[in-house]
Amino acid sequence: MESLRISDIINFLETIAPPALQESYDNSGLIVGNKNEICTGVLVCLDSIEAIIDEAISRNVNLVIAHHPIVFSGLKKFNGKNYIEKTVMKAIKNDIAIYAIHTNLDNVLHKGVNEKISQKIGLEQNSLQILAPKKNTLQKLVTFCPTKNHEKVLQALFNAGAGAVGNYDQCSFNLVGLGTFRGNENSKPYIGKKGKLSTEPETRIEVLVPTHLSQKVVKALKKAHPYEEVAYYLNNIENTHQEIGTGMIGELKNAKDEMNFLFHLKDAMKLKTIKHTSLRKKNIKRVAVCGGSGSFLLNNAIKAGADIFITADYKYHQFFDANNQIIIADIGHYESEQYTIQLISELVSEKFPNFAVLISEINTNPVNYL
């Protein structure tokens, strides 16, 4: 077994679903525990309730990775009055770390919750797109460097995650010009001499940067840049990031009759029931999905031309909003996200193949069906 720290596993997961991508109400991240502890094993679950902590203890693992955070808001007292306090108290007492990877895992195009659902129901991989791309997730970095150092600096920016646009990477705009500068007596100029005006060929570099990677990219810039003082600026841009956002839409390889598709959905997702709106007597080809509570995405699904919208937690009157423009299929909150457990387990196991990654044997769904 590899000797891993809890932080090693967390750092890996956060390369896939950076915490900065979570929604404002969320509480993803390390909720309980010391990330510097050696990890004895991982137990993956959907909800880190008290029974899960008992399971972790019995199976001798000290890291629980859950999709849903056990804590969403501040706890003021720890006296075991509710299931949240009981869970946190037991985890602390037994040195069990709890890590949650929630809406940040929902909000990525690749290796996220909605991609897993899409794969389970048979949507074509190359058709998958974010249903509602997020705004304010892209910036433009502009910097200037000696032309002879241009390639080195540009490559450092690319390596740090800059310059990716949709299906393309290493994208940039470069313009050669003349830079002027004069260092004072305390300067250590890379080019030129103290106290004398220097005019040097410089290249202006412009690249797009995901906002959550901006600090990493700037750090790479400063490390690769030869100048003592590095000139750069970051601006927010209006473009949405096509690989960050909520929900997903894709297409079946072959269109299906509505009832055939619903039976296919029930079988593929192992559902006991599906609540749905009236059928429209049209084939299903284009499918929108959102794990968990996704009613807020209905208009996005309609605008994207989806024939059916698969999600959960619809209220009675919200079903009328389909207005015969789309089929709404409510498959249940737990049911829509149940394969997230498998997803997380696969990700960690593939990265750390010789490490113990266990899937919880407990069904934490609080809803029962008669």
**β-strand partners of 291:** none
Report the residue count for the chain: 370
Among 328, 323, 359, smallest CA distance to 343 is for 359
Q: Let me know if 369 is exposed, middle or buried by CB neighbors in 10 A (0-12, 13-18, 19+).
A: exposed
138-239: same fold as 6-105+339-359?
no
Q: Quick one: CATH architecture of 6-105+339-359?
A: 3-Layer(aba) Sandwich (3.40)
For residue 285, the model assigns a pLDDT of: 98
Separation between Cα atoms, residue 149 and residue 207, nearest integer Å: 16
Contact of 187 with 228, CB cutoff 8 Å: yes
Helix axes 214-224, 150-159, angle to 10 degrees: 150
Separation in Å, CA 82 to CA 23, 50, 92: 25, 10, 16
Among 91, 160, 20, 108, smallest CA distance to 344 is for 108
- What are the structural domain ranges in the chain? 6-105+339-359, 113-131+245-331, 138-239
CATH for the 113-131+245-331 domain, from 3.30.565.10, 1.50.10.20, 3.40.1350.10, 3.40.1390.30: 3.40.1390.30
Per-residue pLDDT of the chain (370 residues; tens, 9 = 90+): 458 999 999 999 999 999 999 999 999 999 999 999 999 999 999 999 999 999 999 999 999 999 999 999 888 888 999 999 999 999 999 999 999 999 999 999 999 999 999 999 999 999 999 999 998 899 999 999 999 999 999 999 999 999 988 788 999 999 999 999 999 989 988 888 888 999 999 999 999 999 999 999 999 999 999 999 999 999 999 888 889 999 999 999 999 999 999 999 999 999 999 999 999 999 999 999 999 999 999 999 999 999 999 999 999 999 999 999 999 999 999 999 999 999 999 999 999 998 999 999 999 999 999 8
Separation between Cα atoms, residue 222 and residue 216, nearest integer Å: 10
Q: Quick one: CATH architecture of 138-239?
A: 2-Layer Sandwich (3.30)
Q: Enter the tokens of residue 224.
A: 């690769």
Separation between Cα atoms, residue 281 and residue 73, nearest integer Å: 45
Contact of 163 with 205, CB cutoff 8 Å: no
For residue 1, the model assigns a pLDDT of: 47
Separation in Å, CA 364 to CA 6, 246, 274, 315, 323: 24, 24, 19, 22, 34
Residues contacting 296, CB < 8 A, separation 6+: none
Alpha-carbon dihedral of residues 321, 322, 323, 327, nearest 10 degrees? -170
